Amino acid sequence: MKLKKLTRKEKEALYIKEMTRLQLHWGNPIDSDWSFVSKCSDEEIEKGINDTIEQLKFEKFFSYIGIIIKIIVIAFILLGIVGLLIFGIRQLF
């Protein structure tokens, strides 16, 4: 992302947008007081934007990995139950 081409207001808006997305992902309540952003330098805002975007990528990647692991575990358990049922039915007949 080309942060150098954005104006100061666009950088502040982007930082607030990305930080809000991160807070929503974490399930935190969102405070509407973003006055501290205007006191930061351009370099601090750019660093904050990059850090927030990278954190979101990291969080989403591991949430997808967690979902995949849950699906695998549930499938393994269901296959085990089905196998036990088939084995039990065979023993009855």
Residue 88: both structure tokens together: 């039990």
For the record, the structure tokens of 86 come out as: 């088939």
pLDDT digit string, tens, across residues 5-28: 888 888 888 888 998 998 888 888
User: Where do the structural domains in the chain lie, given as residue ranges?
Assistant: 3-92
**What amino acid occupies position 85?**
L
The string of pLDDT tens digits covering residues 27-64 is: 888 777 888 888 888 889 889 999 999 999 999 999 99
What 8-state DSSP symbol labels residue 36? G
Query: Is the model's pTM score more than 0.85?
Result: no
